[in-house]
Amino acid sequence: MSINRLKFNHHLFCQFLLTLSLISFISFGSLAQEDAAAPEATDAGLDPALVSAGESLFNGNCTVCHAINEKVIGPALRDAHERQSEEWIKAFIKNSSKVIASGDEYAVALYNEYNQTQMTAFAFSDDELNSIIAYIKSESAKPIEAAVATTTSADGEAVSASSGVAGEYITAILIGFVVVLILILIVLFLIISVLTKYLKENKELDEEERDLVGQEFSIGQLAKSNAFLGFVTFFFLAIVLKSAIDGLFTVGVQQGYQPKQPIAFSHQLHAGQYEIECVYCHTGVNKAKSANIPSVNICMNCHSAIQNVGGQTGMSPEIQKIYDAAESGVPIEWVRVHNLPDLAYFNHSQHVKVGGIECQTCHGPIEEMAVVYQYSDLTMGWCINCHRETEVNAKGNEYYTKLVELHDQTSKNPLKVQDIGGLECSKCHY
């Protein structure tokens, strides 16, 4: 009886626990919901129309230098209305220099803290200023974590997206295959040994069959057989010949040259991820023989503000090298990757500006290279082949108009580079 009651009690207890957890779960859920709805509740004091008007004004005029949660050029504006009165904020937006000149302690401190950068004066009406302050208030009421989390995850994705996942999969698959093959070999070997053992014990076999079963595989005999020797010699010679010819063709060709540079500059980051045009740094490409390597002042156009990568703070050691060069005036000695022999002449502007050839045609997927390597072989055959196949970019270029007319009178093929002397020795060798 007592055991029975105990069981009953136990059952009741379980039920009680279940209900309790269910209730707590539901109430916690609703609590969480309340949490999420909290900012809206505080917003209730603010007119939603005013806040949205303020948001568009804020995004149009203020985000250039301000953010709610982080210091950009000016201070973070979270809880700005708690630090100063609304009148003060309005006066500062309208004419900050006047507030600073009046000797206001807080304004002067701000001015000095932010490297004496003057805030632009904005001629907003009082209504507009009210709406901007309303927007700042409503944003300040929102929890801070959400905003920070989204920005870091976005940066993280951008960085991780660049690592090669496909390559890792292929290696894993290959290793898997090899393991399976070895297992199959072991199983086959086991089957053979079991079968021969069985046959050997079988007494119904005659002499000939017994010999066959007892036969042993001899490596020595195989190695001495003419067929095998011939086979090995042929393969050996073929491999040696192939590598000798390949080796000879690499002499004087620097394809694949990938020197280590003094600064770990990544084209993948600059030209790929941030889509900076090649000509922004290689300023000579449309005007001169050389595309040019940028001097430090061009690096500093951006790096005066950008001091680290991937959302990290502080100064990256690689970017520090640019600062050192800018301060000392000692040029950065980049290692030249494309060393066209002095015996050949090449002009960038002729190909890029006049010919309209994309950089990638010769330099390969430069926007994917973390470290630049020579993509094309830059041999004469490579140049000549392109001159045979490429049509002259004569569109909108008066220089070629008459040439094209003359060419069209005698030929049905389009005007190619070879037709205007692209195969002449002295075009490139003089």
Rule CB under 8 A: choose which of 97, 301, 312, 320 binds another protein: 301
Grouping H, G, I as helix, E, B as strand and the rest as coil, residue 21 is: helix
Closest distance between another protein and the C-beta of residue 60, in Å?
Answer: 6
Q: In DSSP terms, which residues pair with 416 in a beta bridge?
A: 391
Residue with tokens 């009421």: 141
Which structure tokens are listed for 137?
């208030």
Of 217, 339, 349, nearest to 279 by C-alpha is: 349
Question: Which among 8-16, 85-93, 240-248, 314-322 is the span making contact with another protein, rule CB under 8 A?
Answer: 240-248
Q: Which is nearer to another protein, 179 or 244 (CB)?
A: 244
* Shortest spacing between CB 413 and another protein, in angstroms: 31
Pick from 246, 313, 410, 413: which binds another protein (CB under 8 A)? 246
Based on the shown chain and the rule CB under 8 A, indicate whether residue 300 belongs to the binding site for another protein.
yes
What is the nearest approach in angstroms of another protein to the Cβ of residue 27?
42
The closest alpha carbon to 352, from 271, 291, 297, 395, belongs to 291
DSSP-assigned letters across all residues of 275-323:
---HHHH-TTTTTSSS--PPPHHHHHHHHTT---STT--S--HHHHHHH
CB-CB contact of 404 with 415 (8 Å)? yes
H helix or E strand, kind and range, residue 401: helix 401-410
* 60 near another protein (CB under 8 A): yes
Closest distance of CB 395 from another protein, Å: 14
- Residue closer to another protein (CB basis): 39 or 346: 346
- Residue 352 CA to its chain's centroid (Å): 26
* Identity of the residue, 204 or 342, whose beta carbon is nearer to another protein in the bound complex: 342
In sequence order, which ranges of 44-143 are alpha helices (DSSP H)?
A: 48-57, 80-83, 86-94, 96-101, 105-113, 126-141
Q: For residues 46 and 337, which CB has a smaller minimum distance to another protein in the complex?
A: 337
Told to check if 398 binds another protein by CB under 8 A, we report no
Residue 159 as a binder of another protein (CB under 8 A): the answer is no
Q: Is 390 in the site for another protein (CB under 8 A)?
A: no
CB of 72 to another protein, least distance (A): 5
Among 24, 97, 120, 411, binds another protein (CB under 8 A): 120
- Per-residue interface string for the shown chain with another protein, residues 254-293, x marking contact by CB under 8 A: xxxxxxx------------xxxxx-xx--x------x-xx
- Long-range Cβ contacts of 107-116 (<8 Å, 24+ apart): 110/75, 113/75, 114/73, 114/74, 114/75
Please count the other Cβ atoms lying within 10 Å of the Cβ belonging to residue 199. Answer: 14
Contacts of 282 (CB under 8 A, 6+ apart): 291, 292, 293, 294
126 binding another protein? (CB under 8 A): no
Query: Closest CB to another protein among 50 and 278?
Result: 278
Residues that bind another protein (CB under 8 A): 60-61, 64-65, 67, 72-73, 117, 120, 122-123, 236, 239-241, 243-244, 246-248, 250-260, 273-277, 279-280, 283, 290, 292-293, 295, 297-298, 300-302, 304-306, 330-331, 333, 336, 339, 341-343, 374
